[in-house]
Structure 1
Amino acid sequence: MSSPDRRGGCALCRDARPLGFDFSYAFQPIVDVQARRVFAHEALVRGVAGEGAHTVLSRITDENRYSFDQACREKAIQAAAGLHIASQLSINFYPNAIYRPDVCIRSTLQAAQRHGFPIERIIFETVEGEKVSDGAWLAEIMREYKRMGFKTAIDDFGAGFAGLNLLADFQPDIVKLDMALVRGIDGSPSRQAIVAGVVAICEALRIDAIAEGIETADEARCLADLGIRLMQGYWFGRPAFEAVVQDAQIPWLG
């Protein structure tokens, strides 16, 4: 997909059509294994009755992508406020749906104010698997979000534009390691070496690293030994539909 036309941003905000379908959210915890607490909850799209994300995402087209992105932000904040989420809130966004971040963020700011959710507890995370054709444009979006007071996160670090070239030009608050690096890491010296290198880079750049997709205690222990303290995956908690996982429900490492 080609780079967005920055000139179209105001028209999209003004002329965006109603989405035409509804959806809800499940929330999955991201845990701090050192502090033994929930660091954040990631808002994950679901159908209104809890159906899988694909039942919603399969309805996204180039024509409604912008409206969907806007609705996602507002609905995630509303749902998090209704559940009294006290941790940070990670909201996925579509870089290819953003035209002028300073303009397109207005409805998000209004939603945060309306529901009393502090913007400093909102993390904007690139959508998993979203192919971005312009790394410089992605960096520009994230830089604007940081300027406004939001936190920023790059998903799938190590794949596509979510890699070292991006970090050379822009340092997000958080990088989420590509799941392929995490799966089975306890038995893979090569993955361990790569993750150790990423951890060192993140420490030097003052970026938090999150390992996602953790399914076993052995994977979690290995990652902790490599210096990862923020983790996400089924081992710690599955996405809870219209609910949140509390600290007491987390199976902490011994």
Structure 2
Amino acid sequence: MAAGCQGCRTAQHQFAIAMAFQPIVDVETGLPFAYEALVRGEDGEGAADVIARVTPENRYAFDQQCRVAAIEGAVAAGILDTSARLSINFLPNAVYSPVACIQLTLQTSKATGLPVDRLIFEFTENEQMADTSHVKNIVDSYRKMGFGTAIDDFGAGHAGLGLLAAFQTDYIKLDMELIRGLDTSMPRRMIVEGVLRIAKSLDITVIAEGIETLGEYDVLRGMGVRYMQGYLLARPGFKTLPPIALPGELYAAVA
């Protein structure tokens, strides 16, 4: 823990990064519910190029720098002119202490004027959890501080429903592999319907990500999914908040 807290105090910066932003759309209103911050290289290089340089030795500094870049970048792009939240990916295994490691985030939020209750922290279940109880502690601590929490790529990672049984987040984001071809796959529809029933019972909001076709969109709307993210609605904007293609406009375009 000492090494991590020292890293927080020294605010080491080892990566040349910027952020792209992709909206999570409230399809009932056509407005952005949130923008997810997606790491990019300083000149727009893909996330894979940046993440390939992350090691166990520097992942703490990377996690901290991503949080700062996400908040500063979103404010610079104009998020304060909207009511949208900001969703930031974080690495649970890079958090030594939820309270100590959140201080730089809080300072950045205060300095930029972005209220903490507009921040959502999401982590992917694709990252093997070294200690599930530690992740639960992070989630519980963040929720007490007023942050939203989310499991990203739900249904594609190591833990699956077992992770949800251990602790509950405010949101779960259905993995795009469950969404792909949803309109033509009965097994996928049955799985998504099952997850939706579980989430409703646990008072968890579901976000569907990776929507690319009107067929996928229609099935999800029929299931009652309100929050969606994907290329069909908006592609990520590098250092910008991209416009949203409303479903009605999409239907008009293919009519």
Contact map agreement 1:236 1:250 (CA 8 A) in 2: yes
Q: How does 1:1-20 map to 2 (within 5 A)?
A: 6=1, 8-14=3-9, 18-20=12-14
CA distances 1:120-145 after superposition (whole Å, capped 9, x unpaired) = 11000104732223222211111111
Counterpart CA distance in 2 for 1:161 and 1:135 is: 12
CA distances 1:173-205 after superposition (whole Å, capped 9, x unpaired) = 100012211110100111111111111111111
Contact map agreement 1:23 1:45 (CA 8 A) in 2: yes
Contact map agreement 1:139 1:166 (CA 8 A) in 2: no
Determine whether 1:158 maps to 2:155. yes
Counterpart CA distance in 1 for 2:247 and 2:108 is: 34
Determine whether 1:187 maps to 2:181. no
> Which shifted more, 108-117 or 158-167?
158-167
Counterpart CA distance in 2 for 1:63 and 1:15 is: 15
1:113: Cα distance to partner?
0.1
Q: How does 1:14-33 map to 2 (within 5 A)?
A: 14=9, 18-33=12-27
Determine whether 1:81 maps to 2:75. yes
Q: Could you tell me the percent identity over the aligned residues?
A: 50
Q: Secondary structure at the match of 2:88?
A: strand
Give the corresponding residue for 1:170: 167
Gapped regions of structure 1 (runs ≥ 5): 1-5
Counterpart CA distance in 1 for 2:156 and 2:137 is: 19
Q: TM-score, normalising length from structure 2?
A: 0.91
Determine whether 1:92 maps to 2:86. no
Gapped regions of structure 2 (runs ≥ 5): none
After superposition, the Cα gap between the structure-2 partners of 1:76 and 1:97, relative to the gap in structure 1 and judged at 3 Å, is same
Give the corresponding residue for 2:224: 227
Match of 1:136 among 133, 137, 147: 133
Match of 1:36 among 30, 38, 46: 30
Match of 2:246 among 225, 246, 251: 251
Match of 1:57 among 29, 51, 58: 51
Give the corresponding residue for 1:3: none
1:163: Cα distance to partner?
2.8
Q: TM-score, normalising length from structure 1?
A: 0.91
Counterpart CA distance in 2 for 1:187 and 1:26 is: 31
Q: Which runs of 4+ in 1 moved over 6 A?
A: none
1:229: Cα distance to partner?
1.1
1:56: Cα distance to partner?
1.2
Contact map agreement 1:235 1:251 (CA 8 A) in 2: no
Determine whether 1:47 maps to 2:49. no
Counterpart CA distance in 2 for 1:65 and 1:173 is: 25
Q: Provide the alpha-carbon RMSD of the alignment.
A: 1.7
